[in-house]
C-alpha cells in the first residue's frame, strides 16, 4: 500500500542532509590528504637531495694524535726553512739568534683551535750549554702580540719556556685552546728543529666517532653544525688530563675556565649527544656525577666544579637549576634509566631547595649574579623562569620513572609560578617581560625569549615580543638588553651566545623560521668564516656589537656558544625525542630558504635518518628511517593551506592537519612523503 509522507519524516531528511555535509567534509579532507600510494607524474617529479653529501669532509678534528701546523703565518729574525715545521713541509728548520738581536721566531698556524701540550723536536743546538726556547700560544692572531723587544706573549696565562740542552723532543705544559703558536729562540745561538706540533689532549673525533651528522644546501649552516660539534669536543677532557678529575668531563671552555659549569653543559651536553651519541656518554655522566657528588644537604646543586680549586663553586641559584636540568636532558636522549633513577631523590631535593627561594609573591629571589656578572636583586624574571624550566623537566621525568603524586606537585607549582610571572613581571603597556620588579623599564633578552620558549608567554603576546627584539637586533646578533637603560656586563659585552641560542629556539618554536635562520647567520656566520682574523673553527664565549671578541682573555672555544648544532638537528633536520631514548620521536622540519637537508640523530639502538628537499614551486619530499623498537610522527610541511600531501610508501597513518603541516604516524622502517602546492 502506498503511503503518503507524513510530517514526522522531516527530521530524517534533516539527518540525511547532515550526513551529506559530513560526507562532503570527509571527501574534501581526503582530496587534500591522501594516504594511498600514488603513481602520478606529479609525485614522481618531487624535489630530491644529493645522494652523497660527503659530510665527512667537514669534520674539523685532527686526523692524528699529534697534529702539526698547516702553514707558517710569520717569521722574525733569522729563520731557515720555516716551512719544514708544517705538516706538508720537509727538511730541518734552523732558528738563529744573535746576542742583542731580534729573537728568531716562527709562528705556526694549526688552521683551527687545538688542545694539548705543544712540543718541539731538537736535532742540534749551539751557542752555549743551554738555549731557551719559548712557546707563546693564542686562539686568535690579533691576540698573539710581541713586546718592544720582539718577545711574544700568550693571549691568556703564562708562556712555555723550554731549557734546551741536548737533541730530543721537548714538551711544554698543557694549553687548552689555541690556533697559533709562536716558537722563539730567546738566547743567543741556534737550534735545529725537525718537528713541532701538539700532543692532542681533548676528545679527538674522526668521522668514525660521529654517530650524528648534518648537511644541507647552505654551506654556512653546515659549517656551523660542525663548528658546534668541535667546540664541544675541545671542551671534552679525558680522564687524567685535568688534575682535578679522574673521570672524563666536559669543561666550559677549552682555554678557560677549564671547569665544569652547568650553564655551559645546558648546551654542550645536547651537542655532544647529537654529534657523538654514545661516545659522549662517559663525558656527560662524568660531569653530572661531579656536580651531584657535591650537592649540599639543603638540596642545592653547585654551579661549577674545578673553578678556583678542585672543589665546588656556588655562583648562582639558577645554575643549581641548570645542574638538575642537564641530568634530565641526558635521560631524554639516552633512556639511561638506571642513571636517572639513581639521581631521582637528589633531583627532588634540588627542586625542593629551589622552592625555598620563592617569596610571598610566588617568585624566586636569590640576590646573586647568574651570567650578568653583577648581583641582581629582587624578583628577577629570568631566575623564576629557570625554576619553571626545572619544574617542567621534573614533571616529565616523574611521569617516566617517578610518581603521580610528584607529577601533581610539580604541575601545581609550575602553574602557580607561571601565573605569578605573568601577573607581576609582565609590563602590559610595553607587552614585554621586565628584568626585575624594581627595574621595570629594562627588557632583557633572556627573560623574554625563555618566556616564549617555555610557553609562559600567552599566545597573543608572543608575536609582539618577537617583533620587539627583532627591531633591536644588531648586525651581528641580539643584544643582551636595550642600550638604555643598559644591562651590558661589566666587561662591555653586548651579545652573549646563550641568550641568542634561546632566542633562536624561541623563534623556531613559534614558527618564526625565517627570523631564526637570520639570527643564526648574523651571530654565528661570522665565526665560521675561514678568512676571518679570529676564526678558530669553534664558537666564541662573548662578542661585542661588531660580532668580534674584544680581549685575549675571552674563550674562543666555549661550550655555551655551540647551540647551532642542536637547533639545526632538532629544528631544521627536525628530529626530537618525545620519550626517553627516542622510543617515540617527532620529525618536524623547518625549512625557510634551505632547499634540502639530510642527516641523522643517534639513538641508543641506532639512528634516525632524515632527508628532505623542497623546490620553488612549493613541492616537498621527505624520507625518514627509524630503528626497530621506535615509533613517531612525521610532520610534512605544506606550502599553503590548499596543498596536498601523500604517503609515498606503505605503513603510514594520517593523523591530522596542524597549520601548514600534515601529521602522519609511523613505526620502524623507511617512509617517504610528498607534498605539492
The answer to whether the CB of 61 falls within 8 A of the CB of 206 is yes
The answer to whether the CB of 137 falls within 8 A of the CB of 143 is no
- Predicted confidence (pLDDT) per residue in 20-32, tens digit: 434 433 333 343 4
* 267 vs 272: CA distance, rounded Å: 9
Q: Which one-letter DSSP state was computed for residue 660?
A: T
Burial 61-84 (b: 16+ CB within 10 A, else e): bbeeeebbbeebbebbbbbeebeb
- Predicted confidence (pLDDT) per residue in 563-603, tens digit: 999 999 999 999 999 999 999 999 999 999 999 999 999 99
- The confidence score (pLDDT) of residue 40 equals 54
Confidence of residue 10 (pLDDT cuts 50, 70, 90): very low
The answer to whether the CB of 73 falls within 8 A of the CB of 107 is yes
- pTM comes to 0.94
Q: Is the pLDDT of residue 374 over 50?
A: yes
- The confidence score (pLDDT) of residue 44 equals 76
> How many CB atoms neighbour CB 616 within 10 A?
9
- The confidence score (pLDDT) of residue 38 equals 56
Please identify which residue in the block is written with the cell numbers 729562540: 185
DSSP letters for 545-564: TTSS--STTS-SSBGGG-HH
> How many CB atoms neighbour CB 255 within 10 A?
30
* 487 vs 440: CA distance, rounded Å: 13
Q: Is the pLDDT of residue 36 over 60?
A: no
Mean pLDDT over residues 542-555, rounded? Answer: 93
Helices (DSSP H) in 402-524: which residue ranges?
404-424, 445-453, 459-471, 497-509, 513-524
φ and ψ of 377, to 5 deg:
-100, 165
CA dihedral (648, 653, 656, 658) positive or negative: negative
- The confidence score (pLDDT) of residue 41 equals 58
Mean pLDDT over residues 519-539, rounded? Answer: 98
- The confidence score (pLDDT) of residue 37 equals 55
* 545 vs 232: CA distance, rounded Å: 25
List the end-to-end C-alpha distance of the chain, in Å, as a whole number. Answer: 56
- The confidence score (pLDDT) of residue 2 equals 31
- The confidence score (pLDDT) of residue 409 equals 99
Mean pLDDT over residues 370-389, rounded? Answer: 90
Stated as kind and residue range, the H or E segment containing 290 is: helix 281-292
- The confidence score (pLDDT) of residue 482 equals 75
- The confidence score (pLDDT) of residue 138 equals 98
Mean pLDDT over residues 205-214, rounded? Answer: 99
- The confidence score (pLDDT) of residue 492 equals 67
What contacts 24+ positions apart, CB below 8 Å, involve 292-299?
A: 292/323, 292/327, 292/343, 292/346, 295/346, 295/349, 295/350, 296/353, 298/353, 298/356, 299/346, 299/349, 299/350, 299/351, 299/352, 299/353, 299/354
> How many CB atoms neighbour CB 17 within 10 A?
10
What contacts 24+ positions apart, CB below 8 Å, involve 391-397?
A: 391/351, 391/417, 392/454, 393/324, 393/325, 393/328, 393/329, 394/324, 394/328, 394/347, 394/348, 394/351, 396/328, 396/332, 397/328, 397/331, 397/340, 397/344, 397/347
Confidence of residue 43 (pLDDT cuts 50, 70, 90): confident
Closest CA to 566 of 510, 524, 625: 524
The answer to whether the CB of 617 falls within 8 A of the CB of 628 is no
Confidence of residue 349 (pLDDT cuts 50, 70, 90): very high
* 553 vs 158: CA distance, rounded Å: 12
Report the C-alpha dihedral over residues 529, 531, 534, 540, rounded to 10 degrees.
10
Closest CA to 477 of 442, 527, 441: 527
Q: Is the pLDDT of residue 173 over 70?
A: yes
Q: What angle do CA 632, 635, 639 make, to 5 degrees?
A: 170
- Predicted confidence (pLDDT) per residue in 447-467, tens digit: 999 999 999 999 999 999 999
Q: Which residue has the higher pLDDT, 168 or 4?
A: 168
Residue 406 bridge partners (DSSP): none
What rounded mean pLDDT belongs to the chain? 93
- The confidence score (pLDDT) of residue 481 equals 84
The answer to whether the CB of 125 falls within 8 A of the CB of 167 is yes
Domains in the chain (CATH in brackets) are 34-57+574-676 (2.60.420.10), 63-200 (2.60.120.260), 210-572 (1.50.10.10)
Q: Is the pLDDT of residue 483 over 80?
A: no
- The confidence score (pLDDT) of residue 128 equals 79
Q: Is the pLDDT of residue 6 over 60?
A: no
Mean pLDDT over residues 40-68, rounded? Answer: 92
- The confidence score (pLDDT) of residue 39 equals 52
Q: Is the pLDDT of residue 604 over 60?
A: yes
DSSP helix/strand/coil, 99: coil
* 210 vs 219: CA distance, rounded Å: 19
Q: Is the pLDDT of residue 252 over 70?
A: yes
Q: Is the pLDDT of residue 196 over 80?
A: yes
- The confidence score (pLDDT) of residue 389 equals 99
- The confidence score (pLDDT) of residue 42 equals 63
Q: Is the pLDDT of residue 13 over 50?
A: no
Please identify which residue in the block is written with the cell numbers 596542524: 658
Confidence of residue 3 (pLDDT cuts 50, 70, 90): very low
Q: Which one-letter DSSP state was computed for residue 377?
A: -
What would the 3-class secondary structure string for 307-357 be? CCCCCEECCCHHHHHHHHHHHHHHHHHHCCHHHHHHHHHHHHHHHHHHHCC
Please identify which residue in the block is written with the cell numbers 631524554: 332
Mean pLDDT over residues 604-628, rounded? Answer: 98
Q: Helix 497-509 crosses helix 459-471 at what angle (to 10 degrees)?
A: 140
Provide the grid cell at 272.
Answer: 655532544
Contacts of 248 (CB under 8 A, 6+ apart): 203, 236, 237, 238, 239, 282, 283, 286
Amino acid at each position: 500500500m502506498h503511503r503518503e509522507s507524513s510530517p514526522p519524516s522531516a527530521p530524517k531528511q534533516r539527518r540525511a542532509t547532515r550526513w551529506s555535509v559530513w560526507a562532503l567534509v570527509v571527501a574534501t579532507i581526503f582530496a587534500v590528504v591522501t594516504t594511498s600510494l600514488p603513481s602520478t607524474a606529479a609525485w614522481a617529479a618531487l624535489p630530491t637531495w644529493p645522494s652523497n653529501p660527503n659530510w665527512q669532509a667537514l669534520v674539523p678534528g685532527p686526523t692524528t694524535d699529534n697534529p702539526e701546523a698547516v702553514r707558517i703565518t710569520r717569521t722574525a729574525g733569522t729563520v731557515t726553512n720555516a716551512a719544514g715545521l708544517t705538516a706538508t713541509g720537509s727538511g730541518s728548520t734552523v732558528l738563529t739568534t744573535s746576542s742583542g738581536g731580534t729573537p728568531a721566531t716562527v709562528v705556526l698556524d694549526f688552521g683551527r683551535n687545538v688542545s694539548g701540550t705543544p712540543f718541539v723536536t731538537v736535532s742540534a743546538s749551539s751557542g752555549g750549554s743551554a738555549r731557551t726556547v719559548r712557546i707563546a700560544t693564542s686562539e686568535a692572531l690579533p691576540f698573539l702580540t710581541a713586546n718592544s723587544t720582539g718577545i711574544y706573549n700568550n693571549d691568556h696565562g703564562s708562556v712555555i719556556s723550554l731549557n734546551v740542552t741536548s737533541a730530543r723532543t721537548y714538551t711544554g705544559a698543557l694549553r687548552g685552546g689555541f690556533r697559533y703558536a709562536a716558537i722563539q729562540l730567546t738566547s743567543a745561538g741556534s737550534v735545529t728543529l725537525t718537528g713541532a706540533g701538539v700532543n692532542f689532549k681533548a676528545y679527538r673525533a674522526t668521522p668514525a666517532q660521529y654517530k650524528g651528522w648534518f648537511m644541507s644546501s647552505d654551506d654556512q649552516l653546515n659549517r656551523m653544525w660542525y663548528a658546534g660539534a668541535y667546540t664541544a669536543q675541545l671542551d671534552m677532557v679525558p680522564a687524567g688530563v685535568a688534575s682535578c678529575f679522574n673521570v672524563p668531563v666536559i669543561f666550559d671552555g677549552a682555554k678557560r675556565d677549564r671547569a665544569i659549569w652547568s650553564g655551559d653543559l645546558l648546551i654542550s651536553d645536547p651537542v655532544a649527544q647529537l654529534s657523538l651519541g654514545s661516545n659522549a656518554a662517559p663525558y656527560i655522566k662524568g660531569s653530572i656525577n661531579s656536580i651531584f657528588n657535591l650537592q649540599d644537604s639543603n638540596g642545592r646543586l653547585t654551579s661549577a666544579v674545578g673553578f678556583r680549586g678542585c672543589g665546588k663553586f656556588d655562583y648562582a641559584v639558577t645554575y643549581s637549576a641548570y645542574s638538575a636540568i642537564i641530568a634530565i636532558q641526558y635521560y631524554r636522549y639516552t633512556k639511561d634509566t638506571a642513571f636517572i633513577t639513581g639521581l631521582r631523590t637528589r633531583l627532588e631535593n634540588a627542586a625542593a631547595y629551589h622552592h625555598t627561594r620563592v617569596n610571598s609573591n610566588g617568585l624566586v629571589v636569590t640576590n646573586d649574579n647568574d651570567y650578568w656578572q653583577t648581583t641582581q636583586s629582587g624578583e628577577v624574571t629570568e631566575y623564576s623562569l629557570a625554576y619553571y624550566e626545572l619544574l617542567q623537566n621534573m614533571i616529565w621525568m616523574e611521569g617516566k620513572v617517578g610518581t603521580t603524586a610528584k607529577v601533581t606537585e610539580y604541575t601545581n607549582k609550575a602553574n602557580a609560578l607561571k601565573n605569578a610571572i605573568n601577573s607581576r613581571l609582565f609590563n602590559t603597556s610595553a607587552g614585554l617581560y621586565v628584568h626585575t620588579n624594581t627595574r621595570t623599564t629594562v627588557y632583557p633578552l633572556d627573560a623574554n625569549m625563555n618566556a616564549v620558549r617555555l610557553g609562559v608567554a600567552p599566545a597573543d603576546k608572543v608575536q609582539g615580543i618577537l617583533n620587539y627584539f627583532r627591531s633591536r637586533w644588531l648586525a651581528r646578533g641580539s643584544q643582551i638588553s636595550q642600550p638604555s637603560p643598559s644591562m651590558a656586563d661589566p666587561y662591555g659585552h653586548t651579545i652573549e651566545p646563550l641568550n641568542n641560542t634561546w632566542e633562536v629556539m624561541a623563534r623556531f618554536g613559534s614558527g618564526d623560521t625565517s627570523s631564526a635562520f637570520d639570527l643564526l647567520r648574523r651571530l654565528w656566520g661570522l665565526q665560521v668564516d675561514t678568512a676571518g682574523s679570529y676564526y678558530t673553527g669553534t664558537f666564541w664565549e662573548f662578542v661585542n656589537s661588531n660580532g668580534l671578541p674584544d680581549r685575549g682573555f675571552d674563550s674562543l672555544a666555549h661550550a655555551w656558544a655551540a647551540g647551532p648544532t642542536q637547533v639545526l638537528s632538532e629544528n631544521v633536520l627536525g628530529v626530537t625525542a618525545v620519550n626517553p631514548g627516542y622510543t617515540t620521536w617527532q620529525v618536524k622540519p623547518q625549512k625557510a630558504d634551505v632547499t634540502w637537508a639530510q642527516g641523522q640523530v643517534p639513538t641508543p639502538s641506532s639512528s634516525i635518518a632524515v632527508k628532505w628537499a623542497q623546490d620553488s614551486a612549493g613541492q616537498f619530499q621527505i624520507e625518514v628511517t627509524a630503528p626497530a623498537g621506535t615509533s613517531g610522527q612525521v610532520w610534512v610541511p605544506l606550502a599553503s593551506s590548499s596543498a596536498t600531501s601523500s604517503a609515498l610508501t606503505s605503513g603510514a597513518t594520517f593523523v591530522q592537519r596542524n597549520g601548514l603541516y600534515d601529521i602522519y604516524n609511523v613505526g620502524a622502517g623507511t617512509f617517504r612523503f610528498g607534498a605539492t602546492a
